[in-house]
Structure 1
Amino acid sequence: MNQANDAKDALASQLKETIKYLGATLGETIEAELGSDWLARIEQVRHDGRHSSRGEQQSTERLAHTISSLDNQSLLTIGRAFAQFLNLANIAEQEFNSKAQEDQSLSQYFTDLLNAQNQSAKKEDILRAIETLDIDMVLTAHPTEVTRRTLIHKHRALASQLQLLHNPNLTSVEQRKVKARIGDLIAQAWHTEEIRSVRPTPVDEARWGYSVIESSLWEAVPDFLRDLDDLLQTKFDSQLPLDAKPVQFSSWMGGDRDGNPFVTSSVTQEVLLRARRRAAKLFLQDLNELYVELSMNACNQSVRELVGDVKEPYRALLKPLVKKLEKTREGRVPYKQWLQSNDELLNPLILCYQSLLECGMQVIANGALLNTIRRAHAFGIHLLKLDIRQDSQRHADVFSELTRYLGLGDYNQWSEEDKQAFLLRELGSRRPLIPKNWTPSEEVKEVLDTCRVIAKHGRAGFGIYIISMASEPSDVLAVQLLLKESGVDWPMPVAPLFETLDDLNNSPDVMNALLSIDWYRGYINGRQYVMIGYSDSAKDAGSLAAGWAQYSSQEALVKIAEKQNITLTLFHGRGGTIGRGGLPAKAAIHSQPPGSLAGGFRVTEQGETIRYKFGMPQLAKRSLSLYASAVVEAITSPPPEPKQRWRELITQMAELGCENYRKTVRYDEEFVPYFRVATPEQELGKLPLGSRPAKRKPSGGIESLRAIPWIFAWAQTRLVLPSWLGVMRAIEAVNTEDNQADVQQMIEQWPFFASRLSMLDMVFKKADPAISEAYDKRLVPDKLAHFGKALREELTQSMQSLLSITGHEHMMEDDPLGRDSMNIRAGYLQPLHYLQIELLDRVRKAESAGQEGEDVQTLERAMMVAITGIAVGIRNTG
């Protein structure tokens, strides 16, 4: 144990030295461009920032004074320097995590599981859970990824160089070469524009998703599957089937049109075609390698019959596939000449594999060829399965316009019973419902065109169709009728998304009603998907009430599925932040209700969290191992069902938490004015974060603000209000002397409740009342100053309350690595916060005075750099 701790301490020391080295290299780059005076100024700001973050008032005052005395261009330079410092710190930490967790192999996870004390799971149960693993990672680009793709590429290259630098066998010559390359990459990043000039399009976002697969997951997935196969062979005397697909990847990029007018049917079509071409490119690289390697002559009869009497049968067998992949990659031939199905890709590969086995060449069969077969099953010719998401009202509007055209009345005005009767009648009819000569509005045509794109590309290219703001069975039936009328001749899974507090609470009734419809039961063929929304529910009711509603609805849905003999797959729409349901993977999985993983595990991975979990092959492999072991453990050793007393107490807490939260956010007239001036919410609209607008409705108020900018704005000022507001006060109110023993039992024995407190622990480490107060002093008018003061008082009281209930002395006591990580970045974040305060004041004054011109543009660019830098430093944007 001491040796392991010594190794971790050595790595931690190496991390600090690496960050120091990278910072010094950046300093050299800045000095080369701007001179030694500028470097000295930046060093002074860095020094004051570090001491200010530790609470030294004199350093804080000097930091604020230095920044307020700078001109606009100098503010931009300071912002760029510290944003770059934080990027470099994150890269160093990512490489450190990759190295520190090398010993956390899949085999180690399962060895721990098998050896765990009080392990009730039998070995056969664990084996069965491994064999039925079904994990679907859905890559999304809401997006919260603030870093440009060109910089991400440089950051990946830099991480690779750090890995080389830390190789103990590196010669002095090789070390100089690596350091020169590191200096080159840091200089490239410094001289590259870090802020996008225009918003990325949905196609740009999809291309970013493809690059994650190409640069990381393409290697990580077969490596992970080899580990899983080795585990089965060594621990369970079993083997991973050739067609096993325990993990797969889906995407929302180019398919999520909920409130995003830029995701159109033509965009979806383009994204699907680009994915096909990128998949062809990647498989062609594999096939060209196999073409070189598979030069042997011996083959079985099946291969010989196909290729005839040739000296190199495997090359002859693969050559037509290579030609087909080349045509698909180029995309210059008619679509029908592209590779059309996964079978076209897999069949020649499997024939080669079986022949090699039969001819005694197992080592060759299980080399690069097996990797390609594994990739073909995991990614396929579509690379990613594309989900489609649309708001329920858009579907209803199609039928409203259509029924009025047909003289049947207005569908939107009908009762739920009448809607269901109409939809079921048309679903059972063989005649077309939509007249050929009908010319619908542009909005309706767009919905229909999307369904026709689905029909054109077929089952293999798509995941599921998600209906946001689903509240009635007719919302689901409407989509199924639209798909039928558009020529979709296969039962595409349709998932209602329950996201508001009311929708979550009503979800069992909706699903019970839906599953009681005979036609619907036949359509789903025993498999139902339901998506649970975390973002909007937390924004609606606060994190505690939302969390309990999510748990309760899942628990009820699991019981309904068991009663109806339906396989239920719950799809978790989590974000990276606490206010959007974010949790470490294992904690998130183990906090789910018992039985909720029986139908597989499907979860969104979004924005910057994709890069942190899957941005490097080693990290991606570890993330997949962590997910797999956590799912197996949760299935074989499920958390306990909450005791009735626990239910009573958490229900009281949730009700009080919702009341506390809404009293401030919904019902206090001063809240919105305070929010608008105390945070950079208005300025966020100018940041070209992603393709989606910040609001669902451009004319809407706070209620229409998306969950991401809502969370993002509060994180920028370190008040992180949505993640904690009202929670600890509710828990304190219930944690009376009579209830303390039960509450303590909930902490110790119920993962759901323990995870709530663990999330708050992380939130409170990121929160900083002093920084929030600094924003208020400069930006908030005197008549609203009391509002922020009251919020900070509750924040401080909540922090003390959490420490008291957990018995800890400090935040994140149980996660020293995470705590150290935040402490390292704190000193670099401090200057950016004071910079942002200064910039917000100047930008708003310039706008009020109607100023324009180059000086104002510099201010706005500096503002974007500060927002981006703080997001990078906190490592949670939305």
Structure 2
Amino acid sequence: MTTPTPGSADWRPATSVVDHIVVDDAGRALTEPLRDDIRLLGTMLGDVVREHSGADTFDLIEGARKAAFAIRRSEIDRDDLATMFVDRPATQLLPVVRAFSLFALLANLGEDQHRERRRAIHERAADAPQASSLAATYAKLRAAGLTDAQVGAELAHATVVPVITAHPTETRRRTVFDAQNRITELMRLRRRTELTPAEERAAIDAIGRQILTLWQTALVRVERLTISDEVASGLRYYDASFFDVVPVINTQVRRALLDQYPDSGIEDAPMVRMGSWIGGDRDGNPYVTADIVALATSSAARTAVRHHLDELRSLAQELSMSARLITVPDDLAVLTARTRSGGDDEPFRVALGHIRSRLAATGEAMFGADFRTTDDAASTGFDAYATADELRADLDVIDAALRANNDDTIADDRLLRLREGVRTFGFNLSGLDMRQNSDVHEEVVGELLAWAGVHDDYASLDEADRVAILSAELTARRPLLSPDAELSELAAKELAIVRAGATAIKTFGPQAVPNYIISMCTSVSDMLEAAILLKEAGIFDPDGGVPRCSVRIIPLFETIEDLQQGAATLLAVLDVPIYRALVDAQGGLQEVMLGYSDSNKDGGYLAANWALYRAELDLVDAVRTAGIRLRLFHGRGGTVGRGGGPSYDAILAQPPGAVQGSLRITEQGEIIAAKYAEPVTARRNLETLLAATIESSLLDVEGLGDDSAEAYAILDDVAASARDAYSELVHRTPGFVQYFTESTPLSEIGEMNIGSRPASRKQTKAISDLRAIPWVLSWSQSRVMLPGWYGTGTAFESWIGDDPQRLATLQRYYRSWPFFTSVLSNMAQVMAKSDLGVAQRYSQLVADDELRERVFGKIVDEHERSLRMLAAITGSADLLADNAALKRSVYNRFPYLEPLNLLQVELLKRYRNGDESREVRRGILLTMNGLATALRNSG
């Protein structure tokens, strides 16, 4: 009998990835409470479906659910489930899509609760602190015997900045977001409280009402998502968690470190600050305009000021102390003397009324009279605060007065959170990064230089001449343009955007727009061109050779070649006197951004990860040579193919010297909701970032010792082989782009207006021009997950050959080298989420039989090879032996992805065959969102 060819209609995988996930009886026992929660939520969802959509819809959904589990048990074929959807109208399929999407959302909540439950069990048992917690980090520092000087040298300027970015699959509406949080609180109430039977029933009924609300609420927007929608979505997380968590964790980590190392010199400043790209990242997004920058910065500032006002109101209600019962210090008396509105017997309330009035005046000055609400204090006649520091100084008076009356416990509650919140969020809330592609900068600067008569053909110049012209312009205060300059639409738009950034800085403070990032940065001129635009907007001032500029210029090295040349580029730009003077004026700190997405798309998973590691080593050497400090900004996506994976492990996997107490990292997609949707999980995840940053800065975490040179050489060879194997498929296989386009929902991602940003930077079909999110998202949806593993199997097999010593070497690295451990662990995680049986259904969308069988055959072969090599190096055939949480997720609920994938394939067939009805289009969009929710890190 002939073996079916991979990609042919009758091909079936020899094994399922689930066969590489081992769940024993002990594991099942530990997860029984989780399964109870999921069963409860699933049953309640089923009840809602039956009651509100009818028995026929319920029976179809329940039949699909049972069939999905039967497929996992190999009792039926995948075709049996797919056939259930073939002849049904789209109107009947939409409820099925919605049901499985909602179940994925509810299962996420159940898993989050289970993690809380397990942590609580360990804490009550007084177990050792969990790795990646700050308590565990402090213990490691004590064990290392570090001196105050050592700690101060690395953490004196410690900064950790999660940067929130937009993502096309994280577009859930505020109603859905709020319902999730209410369900979470109700589940938490049931778990933590001894309820009476009546109270238990009431809690269950309340959960049921939220599920009913979700069932009758559109999960995603029908209209195209706008950047203003994305701005609002990003700001949602501040009220949800950041306002509660960030000030507290900043206070606690600073106190803990200073208690342990009192003479370390650690700054009395927030370690965690927030950043954003939403509204400032215009690389490939034509919808970012000057108005959008103004909207993003003013919306953020409005959110911050409104929060401070609300907290002041609550604080005034709490601080009811009477002047007859306490001592009123002189500074507090001065504050109270400025307001005479009655109630002088309650000095704290009077003083807080004065502060609220000044802050209300600040809000009116920033946003106009419509900022005021009926609850705000009167602002007429009160001076606005010029800076957030002035507000904090007044709050410090309140703090000192409380402590003078031995009211420290009161001062350390809401007032402390507010004081730290003002210091952390200021009047700007977060820092909006501006980002643009270097090609655009070149075109715009060329036009400016031509208009000013400096040079009429800048693009024709070689690099040395470009640097000479740009350097000269950066030392002169005169602008290139006059107010009546006539510019192209592109140049006018770009300058307007940068000027909008300047306005935000002037209005909300320098932290409103702190960074300018240059995508596809390859040269010194690329960096100086950005400085020219900042100068033209009035942000950069040469000031006689001692430049002043509140915005840092940050190169983004993205492709593998750019990463390899990054250190040389940095050293070269630091040799330009005006630029070096700028870095010195900015505290001797240069930030560099590393692109995980495009390097992966360029060279594959292993080659990209190694190129990033090598680039960091080179950059550390470069700044040491130049005598400046380095801060790295990691442009990681949610999925492994874009640098995703556990943040703690990823940060510990950085090379020596790469962290140095400071870290910026992008947070995007479903990861934002998974990490920061509510305070408990937000605190845990921010602790993780802080813990890893502190450990990587102070401890020897690489673990290679004197073997580093040999290990680096080996990874050079293996990574080169992996890149070649990847490139053979992606860049050198005829018809690959056609296969990718037809076998995934790539085209639909672009056509259905998912997110505000176009799928490609240019109107081409080249892989190099495709944006990283649709590249990774498409492979995730089709369950191939190719960017997270392809090429590694061939590379390891080729390097090891028949030599057991070489295998033993890689096994040793897996046990002792965090970088190598993290790379393989993340690869195992992404392969656990792959399913080539499902992927084969997507391959059937490719019209060319020969192309389909040829390309899918290569994918199948490399997948099997990668699984074998993972097992050989790690010593375990269990893909998730080191990740119990993901193992639970994959085993317990991944069968629920089957219907979503098969429904997506069915709807894609209909759409591509000409059925462009609203129901089909909406169904495809819903399957994308549902799969992204279920996978939790898909793009």
TM-score if structure 1 supplies the norm length?
Answer: 0.94
Aligned 1:54-73 pairs, distance under 5 A: 54-56=73-75, 58-73=76-91
Structure-2 residue corresponding to 1:726: 791
Aligned 1:700-715 pairs, distance under 5 A: 700-715=765-780
Aligned 1:342-361 pairs, distance under 5 A: 342-361=388-407
- The CA deviation at 1:96 is 2.3
- The CA deviation at 1:454 is 2.3
Do structure 1's residue 377 and structure 2's residue 423 form an aligned pair? yes
Secondary structure in 2 matching 1:389: strand
Equivalent of 1:17, from 23, 30, 36? 36
Aligned 1:26-45 pairs, distance under 5 A: 26-45=45-64
Do structure 1's residue 869 and structure 2's residue 930 form an aligned pair? yes
Equivalent of 1:362, from 404, 408, 413? 408
Equivalents in 1 of 2:657, 2:141: separation in Å?
A: 22
What do the CA deviations read for 1:715-773 (whole angstroms, capped 9, x no partner)?
11111111111112112211241523332232222211121111111011111111112
Range moving further from structure 2, 534-543 or 812-821: 812-821
Report the residue type matching 1:657 in the other structure. Answer: A
Report the residue type matching 1:363 in the other structure. Answer: T
Secondary structure in 2 matching 1:101: helix
Aligned CA distance change for structure 1 residues 535 and 828 (closer, same or farther; 3 Å): same
Report the residue type matching 2:146 in the other structure. Answer: K
Do structure 1's residue 182 and structure 2's residue 233 form an aligned pair? no
Range moving further from structure 2, 394-403 or 297-306: 297-306
Equivalents in 2 of 1:770, 1:35: separation in Å?
A: 32
Equivalent of 1:319, from 349, 353, 356? 353
Aligned CA distance change for structure 1 residues 290 and 824 (closer, same or farther; 3 Å): same
Q: Is the 8 A contact 1:537 1:546 kept in 2?
A: yes
Structure-1 residue corresponding to 2:234: 209
Structure-1 residue corresponding to 2:826: 759
Equivalents in 1 of 2:114, 2:259: separation in Å?
A: 30
Report the residue type matching 1:404 in the other structure. Answer: A
Do structure 1's residue 860 and structure 2's residue 894 form an aligned pair? no
Do structure 1's residue 795 and structure 2's residue 863 form an aligned pair? yes
Equivalent of 2:496, from 446, 449, 466? 449
Structure-1 residue corresponding to 2:98: 80
Structure-2 residue corresponding to 1:519: 578
- The CA deviation at 1:146 is 4.3
**Unaligned segments of structure 1, at least 5 residues:** none
- The CA deviation at 1:558 is 0.8
- The CA deviation at 1:83 is 1.1
Aligned 1:416-435 pairs, distance under 5 A: 416-435=463-482
What do the CA deviations read for 1:568-593 (whole angstroms, capped 9, x no partner)?
10100001111101120111101111
Aligned CA distance change for structure 1 residues 10 and 229 (closer, same or farther; 3 Å): farther
Do structure 1's residue 836 and structure 2's residue 904 form an aligned pair? yes
- The CA deviation at 1:329 is 5.2
Equivalents in 2 of 1:474, 1:339: separation in Å?
A: 40
Equivalents in 1 of 2:264, 2:719: separation in Å?
A: 46
Report the residue type matching 1:714 in the other structure. Answer: W
Equivalent of 2:182, from 157, 164, 176? 157
- The CA deviation at 1:859 is 1.5
Report the residue type matching 1:752 in the other structure. Answer: F
Secondary structure in 2 matching 1:877: coil
Equivalent of 2:601, from 536, 539, 554? 539
Aligned CA distance change for structure 1 residues 223 and 118 (closer, same or farther; 3 Å): closer
What do the CA deviations read for 1:24-77 (whole angstroms, capped 9, x no partner)?
111111111222233222211100011213433x25332122122322211212
Aligned 1:217-236 pairs, distance under 5 A: 217-225=242-250, 227-228=252-253, 231-232=256-257
- The CA deviation at 1:127 is 5.4
Aligned CA distance change for structure 1 residues 29 and 327 (closer, same or farther; 3 Å): farther
Secondary structure in 1 matching 2:554: strand
Structure-1 residue corresponding to 2:333: 304
Structure-1 residue corresponding to 2:630: 568
Equivalents in 2 of 1:284, 1:592: separation in Å?
A: 41
Structure-2 residue corresponding to 1:595: 657
Structure-1 residue corresponding to 2:879: 811
The alignment of Structure 1 onto Structure 2 pairs a total of residues equal to 866
Structure-2 residue corresponding to 1:134: 159
Equivalents in 1 of 2:599, 2:890: separation in Å?
A: 28
What do the CA deviations read for 1:776-809 (whole angstroms, capped 9, x no partner)?
2455532223221221122122112211221102
Aligned CA distance change for structure 1 residues 790 and 233 (closer, same or farther; 3 Å): closer
Equivalents in 2 of 1:799, 1:552: separation in Å?
A: 26
Structure-1 residue corresponding to 2:68: 49
Structure-2 residue corresponding to 1:479: 530
Equivalent of 2:115, from 74, 97, 112? 97
Report the residue type matching 1:133 in the other structure. Answer: A
Q: Is the 8 A contact 2:41 2:106 kept in 1?
A: yes
Aligned 1:654-803 pairs, distance under 5 A: 654-736=719-801, 737=803, 738-777=805-844, 779-786=846-853, 787-803=855-871
Report the residue type matching 2:353 in the other structure. Answer: K
- The CA deviation at 1:313 is 3.0
What do the CA deviations read for 1:275-316 (whole angstroms, capped 9, x no partner)?
111111111111001112223333322232343394333333
Report the residue type matching 2:591 in the other structure. Answer: Y
Structure-2 residue corresponding to 1:470: 521
Q: Is the 8 A contact 1:711 1:722 kept in 2?
A: yes
Secondary structure in 1 matching 2:754: coil
Structure-1 residue corresponding to 2:377: none
Equivalents in 1 of 2:634, 2:863: separation in Å?
A: 29
Secondary structure in 2 matching 1:55: coil
What do the CA deviations read for 1:801-849 (whole angstroms, capped 9, x no partner)?
2112211021111212211111122121111111122112121112xxx
Range moving further from structure 2, 544-553 or 332-341: 332-341
Secondary structure in 1 matching 2:275: strand
Aligned CA distance change for structure 1 residues 342 and 10 (closer, same or farther; 3 Å): farther
Structure-2 residue corresponding to 1:122: 146
What do the CA deviations read for 1:218-264 (whole angstroms, capped 9, x no partner)?
11123324543664577667999994301110111111111111111
Equivalents in 2 of 1:308, 1:478: separation in Å?
A: 53
Report the residue type matching 1:326 in the other structure. Answer: A
Aligned CA distance change for structure 1 residues 232 and 243 (closer, same or farther; 3 Å): closer
Report the residue type matching 1:744 in the other structure. Answer: Q
What do the CA deviations read for 1:169-211 (whole angstroms, capped 9, x no partner)?
1222221221111111111111111231122222221111111
Aligned CA distance change for structure 1 residues 242 and 183 (closer, same or farther; 3 Å): farther
Equivalents in 1 of 2:251, 2:200: separation in Å?
A: 33
- The CA deviation at 1:112 is 3.6
Q: Is the 8 A contact 2:151 2:698 kept in 1?
A: no
Secondary structure in 1 matching 2:194: coil
Secondary structure in 2 matching 1:575: coil
Range moving further from structure 2, 822-831 or 293-302: 293-302
Q: Is the 8 A contact 1:141 1:253 kept in 2?
A: yes
Report the residue type matching 2:925 in the other structure. Answer: M
Aligned CA distance change for structure 1 residues 810 and 430 (closer, same or farther; 3 Å): closer
Secondary structure in 1 matching 2:33: helix
- The CA deviation at 1:433 is 2.1
Report the residue type matching 1:545 in the other structure. Answer: A
**Unaligned segments of structure 2, at least 5 residues:** 1-23, 339-343, 372-381, 542-547
Structure-2 residue corresponding to 1:653: 718
Equivalents in 2 of 1:402, 1:115: separation in Å?
A: 57
Report the residue type matching 2:573 in the other structure. Answer: L
Aligned CA distance change for structure 1 residues 90 and 117 (closer, same or farther; 3 Å): same
What do the CA deviations read for 1:523-555 (whole angstroms, capped 9, x no partner)?
112110110110001001111111111111111
Range moving further from structure 2, 130-139 or 535-544: 130-139
